[in-house]
């Protein structure tokens, strides 16, 4: 397929550069709201639903969505929107299960949840998977941005007599540097507020291209009649073609991709954790599913639909061999004028910055909380009860952001071998999502799920997944629903179903066998050679896992499939027994507040005392500074205002600037102190002024949290 070069005008470049500079300055401005790691990673947990909902749009649409769904829309029509309609059925599990668990448990990362729910070893393995997942997503983002910008560039240019050839990877490195600077200094607050602007721009740009494209071909009737009949159906073929079919899209994009994105994408989770409370997070998620996703389906696919109509009516305008991943950019240049096209490309750039900055912020959070701090505890440089050194943590966060930006670019080399971004993204989802997705679901919704079940799912499940990758015809084809076999990229989509089956099977089998595993572990402990027995199991299991990795990577066939599959199952059993033997686990204490069945207890932990669930009013007050202990985290209302809010000293309170359009930017969480007699006035400490950045003379709103 031909690569288009040098489209657009000088004015388009001016618009693009001005926009990028504006976003850099806008993001850097919000660095002043980063007082500590809570602000840098979670925005102070202060924002309202509408701001988070719009920022999720910018993150969810993302640059790869414009590229990959326009490509599929151009090649297959309205069925490109399938993925955006798959999310509704699992959202209740998120709204009433996973979201309240992660908020009320006060975790700072998904791996931290697994340590509290299971064990430190569980946290270790999940941390590795999380970082691989996020770095892979960053790589996909950089790849799509490079493919979107490449058509604008000349094939080469000369500076000071030196000729530079423009390459995809060169563009990606430049993009990575700009994005890294932006997120390194801005933090989560910068991401949220720039996403507010970018989300609006993305929706406007995508809809503009679609509606202008329809007008370009002569209106709705003409647009409809130009599309071939197969382009007008809502679903792709059931099991063909290999690169895009309904059954494959359902398992890879609808299940592994969408569920994984909502439940295990730490970047998105941190966005929900930035809301002021669980209720606001639920509203943001609901609005996103019911309204934003259907609109987004048109935004990201519409460019491909109108491109197809234009290619039929004006075959000379759109090259027949155009690269599908360049369709959105090429068609935008055809139907829009100079400057406007620059705005559209700026929207694509905005999508990249939204997605990648969110993911890089998440990787930094995981590194600080799940790698740096545990290592320092292990080296005995700090104690568990020591407070976080905020200055050092911020330096580590920003340094790790730079490092993961570089790793994200390195990941591009692995994905660039796929013919389209859609297929590269599908492979990524199908490969990395299933084990962690199963672990999260069973951990949150199945009280009996144990550390042995989790760790065996990760190690044993991944080993079986690797065998599926090595022997796709033998292991995946029987459940592939008749989808065609591509020898270069075999069962890119249906691999997700196989991976989900083996991970679920391992998790359920090991968990239901827990009593027998305990019996075997106790029996081994009584054996005088118990150390030799356990070390032998460990060596055997490590050897099997390593062989499975090497077999998948280098296509080895030293051991027949039947035998290595059986050996891998045995190794999985050994991993379950090893975990049961070494890991201390109390199901009574380690499930309370950490599963959907005990959320009420989690709310009590969040508050630190018994809940006060009486309904109260929101009150408006003026504020005054209270002299004394500036670091005391208490604020003081009058008796009358406390009564209106149905609040008691020690309850949690959220106080914010009453101007709704700020979206909670100027706000903070704190605790009620003893009431006074001055109605309509709240006394704050300097601590609260630093967190909330309240403006003198501006009225505040206060509401009891719980």
The closest alpha carbon to 420, from 488, 471, 352, belongs to 488
The closest alpha carbon to 325, from 425, 395, 428, belongs to 425
pLDDT of residue 184: 59
User: Which comes out higher in pLDDT, residue 61 or 604?
Assistant: 604
The closest alpha carbon to 411, from 94, 136, 213, belongs to 136
Give yes or no for a contact between 189 and 30, defined as CB atoms under 8 angstroms apart: yes
Angle between helices 168-216 and 49-76 (to 10 degrees): 80
In CATH, which of 3.30.70.270, 2.60.40.1930, 2.40.40.20, 3.90.1640.30 is domain 609-704? 2.40.40.20
Average pLDDT over residues 186-196: 65
Q: How far apart are CA 315 and CA 324, in angstroms?
A: 15
Q: What SS3 state is found at 684?
A: strand
pLDDT of residue 256: 84
**In sequence order, what are the residues at sequence separation of 6 or more whose Cβ sits closer than 8 angstroms to the Cβ of residue 271?**
52, 55, 56, 59, 192, 358
Average pLDDT over residues 360-375: 84
275-303, pLDDT tens digit by residue?
Answer: 888 999 999 989 888 888 888 889 989 99
Q: How far apart are CA 38 and CA 269, in angstroms?
A: 14
Determine the distance from the C-alpha atom of residue 143 to the mean position of all C-alpha atoms in its chain, rounded to a whole number: 17
Q: How confident is the model at residue 524 (pLDDT cuts 50, 70, 90)?
A: very high
Q: How confident is the model at residue 472 (pLDDT cuts 50, 70, 90)?
A: very high
Tokens of 229: 């009949």
Q: Is the pLDDT of residue 154 over 90?
A: no
- DSSP character string of 461-523: HHHHHHHHHH-HHHHTGGGSTTPPP-SSSTTTTTHHHHHHHHHHHHHHHHHHTHHHHHHHHHH
| DSSP code, position 4 | P
Q: How confident is the model at residue 64 (pLDDT cuts 50, 70, 90)?
A: low
Q: Is the pLDDT of residue 309 over 80?
A: yes
The closest alpha carbon to 574, from 432, 463, 474, belongs to 463
215-236, pLDDT tens digit by residue?
Answer: 999 999 999 999 999 999 988 8
Would you call the peptide bond into 241 cis, given omega within 30 degrees of 0 as the criterion? yes
pLDDT of residue 34: 56
Q: How confident is the model at residue 41 (pLDDT cuts 50, 70, 90)?
A: low
What are the sequence ranges of the domains in the chain? 10-433, 448-582, 609-704
Average pLDDT over residues 160-176: 76
- DSSP character string of 371-400: IIHHHHHHTTSS-TTSPP-HHHHHHHHHHH
Cα distances (Å, whole numbers) of residue 139 to 133, 400, 410, 415, 437: 10, 16, 7, 8, 20
Q: How confident is the model at residue 32 (pLDDT cuts 50, 70, 90)?
A: low
Residue 47: how many CB atoms within 10 A of its CB? 29
Give yes or no for a contact between 188 and 361, defined as CB atoms under 8 angstroms apart: yes
Give yes or no for a contact between 85 and 235, defined as CB atoms under 8 angstroms apart: no
**Least trusted range by pLDDT, from 156-160, 181-185, 416-420, 586-590:** 181-185
Q: How far apart are CA 247 and CA 270, in angstroms?
A: 31
**Torsion angle of C-alpha atoms 195, 88, 94, 405, degrees rounded to 10:** -40
Domain at 10-433, CATH homologous superfamily:
Sodium/glucose cotransporter (1.20.1730.10)
Q: How confident is the model at residue 461 (pLDDT cuts 50, 70, 90)?
A: very high
**Strand pairing class (619-625; 162-165):** unpaired
Q: How far apart are CA 636 and CA 649, in angstroms?
A: 9
**Burial of 469 from C-beta contacts in 10 A (0-12 / 13-18 / 19+):** buried
Q: How far apart are CA 231 and CA 223, in angstroms?
A: 12
* Residues facing 311 on adjacent strands: none
* Residues facing 422 on adjacent strands: none
Angle between helices 561-582 and 495-512 (to 10 degrees): 40
The closest alpha carbon to 259, from 104, 56, 98, belongs to 98
**In sequence order, what are the residues at sequence separation of 6 or more whose Cβ sits closer than 8 angstroms to the Cβ of residue 605?**
104, 105, 106, 593
| DSSP code, position 419 | S
Q: How far apart are CA 455 and CA 572, in angstroms?
A: 9
Question: Which of the residue ranges 102-111, 376-385, 534-543, 607-616 has the most confident prediction, judged by mean pLDDT?
Answer: 534-543
């Amino acid at each position: 397929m031909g690569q288009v070069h040098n489209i657009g005008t000088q004015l388009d470049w001016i618009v693009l550069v001005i926009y990028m500079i504006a976003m850099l300055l806008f993001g850097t401005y919000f660095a002043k709201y980063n007082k500590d790691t809570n602000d840098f990673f979670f925005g102070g947990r202060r924002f309202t639903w509408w701001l988070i909902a719009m920022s999720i749009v910018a993150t969810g649409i993302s640059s790869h969505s414009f590229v990959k769904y326009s490509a599929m829309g151009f090649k297959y029509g309205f069925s490109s929107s399938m993925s955006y309609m798959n999310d509704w059925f699992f959202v209740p599990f998120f709204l009433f299960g996973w979201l309240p668990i992660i908020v009320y448990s006060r975790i700072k990362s998904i791996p931290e949840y697994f340590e509290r729910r299971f064990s430190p070893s569980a946290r270790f393995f999940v941390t590795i998977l999380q970082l691989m997942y996020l770095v892979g997503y960053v790589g996909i983002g950089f790849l799509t941005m490079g493919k979107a910008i490449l058509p604008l560039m000349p094939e080469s240019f000369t500076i000071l007599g030196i000729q530079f050839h423009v390459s995809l990877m060169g563009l990606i490195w430049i993009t990575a540097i700009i994005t890294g600077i932006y997120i390194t200094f801005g933090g989560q607050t910068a991401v949220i507020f720039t996403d507010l602007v970018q989300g609006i721009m993305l929706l406007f740009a995508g809809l503009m291209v679609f509606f202008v494209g329809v007008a370009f071909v002569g209106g709705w009737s003409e647009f409809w009649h130009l599309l071939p009949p197969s382009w007008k159906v809502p679903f792709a073929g059931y099991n063909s073609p290999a690169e895009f079919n309904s059954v494959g899209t359902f398992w890879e994009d609808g299940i592994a991709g969408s569920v994984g994105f909502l439940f295990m994408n730490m970047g998105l989770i941190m966005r929900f954790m930035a809301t002021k409370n669980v209720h606001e997070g639920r509203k943001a998620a609901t609005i996103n599913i019911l309204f934003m996703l259907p609109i987004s389906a048109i935004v990201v696919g519409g460019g491909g639909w109108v491109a197809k109509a234009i290619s039929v009516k004006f075959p000379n305008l759109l090259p027949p061999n155009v690269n599908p991943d360049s369709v959105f950019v090429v068609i935008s240049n055809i139907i829009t004028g100079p400057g406007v096209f620059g705005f559209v490309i700026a929207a694509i750039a905005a999508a990249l910055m939204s997605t990648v900055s969110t993911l890089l912020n998440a990787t930094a959070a995981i590194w600080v909380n799940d790698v740096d701090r545990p290592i320092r505890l292990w080296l005995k440089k700090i104690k568990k009860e020591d407070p976080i050194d905020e200055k050092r943590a911020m330096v580590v966060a920003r340094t790790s952001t730079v490092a993961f930006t570089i790793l994200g670019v390195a990941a591009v080399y692995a994905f660039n071998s796929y013919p389209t971004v859609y297929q590269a993204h599908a492979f990524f989802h199908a490969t990395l999502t299933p084990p962690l997705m199963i672990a999260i679901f069973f951990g949150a919704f199945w009280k009996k799920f144990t550390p042995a079940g989790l760790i065996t799912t990760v190690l044993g499940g991944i080993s079986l997944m690797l065998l599926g990758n090595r022997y796709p015809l033998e292991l995946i084809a029987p459940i592939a629903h008749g989808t065609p076999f591509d020898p270069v990229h075999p069962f890119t989509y249906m691999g997700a179903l196989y991976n989900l089956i083996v991970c679920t099977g391992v998790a359920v089998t090991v968990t239901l066998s827990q009593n027998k595993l305990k019996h075997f572990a106790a029996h081994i402990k009584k054996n005088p050679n118990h150390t030799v027995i356990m070390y032998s199991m460990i060596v055997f299991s490590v050897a099997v896992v390593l062989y499975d990795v090497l077999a998948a990577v280098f296509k080895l066939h030293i051991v027949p499939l039947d035998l290595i599959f059986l050996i891998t199952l045995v190794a999985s059993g050994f991993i379950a027994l090893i975990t049961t033997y070494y890991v201390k686990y109390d199901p009574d204490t380690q499930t309370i507040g950490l599963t959907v069945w005990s959320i009420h207890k989690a709310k009590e932990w969040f508050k630190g005392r018994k809940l006060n669930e009486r309904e109260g009013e929101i009150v408006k007050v003026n504020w005054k500074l209270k002299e004394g202990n500036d670091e005391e985290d208490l604020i003081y209302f009058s008796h009358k205002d406390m009564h209106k809010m149905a609040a008691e000293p020690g309850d949690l309170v959220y106080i914010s600037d009453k101007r709704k359009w700020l979206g909670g930017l100027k706000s903070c969480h704190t605790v009620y102190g003893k009431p006074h007699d001055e109605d309509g006035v709240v006394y704050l400490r300097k601590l609260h002024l630093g967190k909330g950045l309240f403006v003198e003379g501006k009225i505040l709103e206060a509401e009891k949290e719980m």
